[in-house]
């Protein structure tokens, strides 16, 4: 979009004061959780923060080309970054929630594998369509050689475009993004689910099996809400499109880690306060 006002470009620069303020906010939120509910609540909050950071970091790996990719003008997947990441993360969350009864570690890894599988299949089909449906090989516009396979890129770029399809490094980036997103979303879900399962029976004065639907749905909707907030913040960080981990924009990830950590801490604290006040 052409900007209306003369807006200075959101460059890759980092704002040290803001980062420090962010870290201070994070510590304050952790302290509030410690005061309100040391033990169960604090553990849940730490889990939520880690989950949120995984999501925020993971979304940087997903190759998204936006509108130009839909015309074969830019490499990447032709969908919005927040929603593509949400699709992968939610597919992971689906699998992770199913495995919740088998413990935290298994559930999180299952969620990670679920998200990675969704991205692997999608990225493979994207290349399938480009190669067999449109006759266009994959080429990156940002590097001369693929960092993983060493394939040269510039001569496979059609004239007048920035590249197209998914070079191997973008494919791997997509899978890694799906893995991290699925893991992060499932971690948030499991932490909140365990907290709610432990505390809701006393609050609603009902048995554990009776409140299970409430615990599951509340944890689920919180996980989805936090997933979307983190994904949109990352989308703001990369200003909409990124080719994958080899893209220079990828170097902006430290800002996103701080932003995701603070946003997840804030939302996680609210989620915990529901059952502790």
Q: Tell me which residues in 218-237 interact with another protein (CB under 8 A).
A: 218, 220-222, 224-229, 231-233, 235-237
Contact between 54 and another protein per CB under 8 A: no
Contacting residues for 66 by C-beta, under 8 A, at least 6 apart = 74, 76, 78, 80, 81, 240, 241
The interface region with another protein, picked from 8-16, 35-43, 45-53, 242-250 by CB under 8 A, is 8-16
Cβ 221 to another protein shortest distance, Å: 5
44, 49, 52, 164: residue in contact with another protein (rule CB under 8 A): 164
Cβ 69 to another protein shortest distance, Å: 7
30, 36, 104, 137: residue in contact with another protein (rule CB under 8 A): 137
Contacting another protein within 84-123 (CB under 8 A): 84, 86-88, 90-91, 93-95, 97-100, 102-103, 106, 109-110, 113-114, 116-118, 120-123
Contact between 28 and another protein per CB under 8 A: no
124, 197, 201, 249: residue in contact with another protein (rule CB under 8 A): 124
Cβ 154 to another protein shortest distance, Å: 6
In the complex with another protein, the residue whose CB is nearer, 50 or 83, is 83
Contacting another protein within 171-210 (CB under 8 A): 171-172, 175, 204, 206, 210
Contact between 248 and another protein per CB under 8 A: no
Which residue, among 27, 34, 26, 24, has the nearest Cα to 276 in the 3D structure? 34
Query: In the block, which residue shows the tokens 């490499």?
Result: 75
Instruction: Answer for the pair 175, 84: CB distance below 8 angstroms, yes or no.
Output: no
Cβ 268 to another protein shortest distance, Å: 9
Cβ 223 to another protein shortest distance, Å: 10
Q: State both tokens at 268.
A: 């996680």
Instruction: Answer for the pair 257, 156: CB distance below 8 angstroms, yes or no.
Output: no
């Amino acid at each position: 979009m052409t900007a209306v006002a003369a807006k200075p470009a959101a460059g890759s620069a980092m704002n040290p004061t803001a980062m420090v303020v962010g870290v201070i906010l994070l510590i304050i939120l952790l302290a509030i959780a410690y005061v309100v509910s040391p033990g169960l609540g604090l553990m849940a909050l730490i889990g939520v923060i880690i989950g949120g950071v995984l999501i925020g970091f993971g979304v940087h790996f997903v190759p998204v080309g936006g509108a130009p990719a839909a015309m074969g003008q830019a490499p990447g997947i032709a969908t919005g970054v927040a929603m593509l990441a949400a699709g992968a993360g939610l597919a992971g969350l689906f699998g992770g929630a199913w495995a919740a009864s088998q413990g935290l570690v298994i559930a999180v890894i299952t969620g990670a594998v679920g998200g990675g599988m969704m991205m692997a299949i999608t990225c493979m089909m994207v290349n399938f369509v480009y190669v067999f449906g449109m006759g266009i090989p994959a080429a990156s516009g940002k590097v001369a050689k693929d960092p993983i396979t060493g394939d040269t890129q510039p001569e496979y770029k059609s004239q007048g475009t920035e590249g197209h399809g998914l070079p191997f490094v973008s494919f791997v980036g997509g899978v890694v993004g799906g893995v991290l997103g699925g893991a992060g979303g499932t971690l948030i879900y499991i932490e909140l689910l365990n907290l709610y399962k432990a505390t809701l029976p006393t609050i609603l004065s009902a048995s554990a099996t009776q409140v299970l639907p409430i615990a599951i749905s509340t944890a689920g909707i919180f996980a989805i809400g936090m997933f979307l907030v983190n994904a949109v913040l990352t989308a703001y960080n990369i200003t909409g499109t990124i080719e994958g981990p080899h893209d220079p924009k990828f170097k902006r990830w430290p800002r996103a880690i701080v932003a995701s950590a603070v946003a997840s801490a804030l939302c996680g604290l609210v989620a915990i306060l529901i059952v502790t006040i």
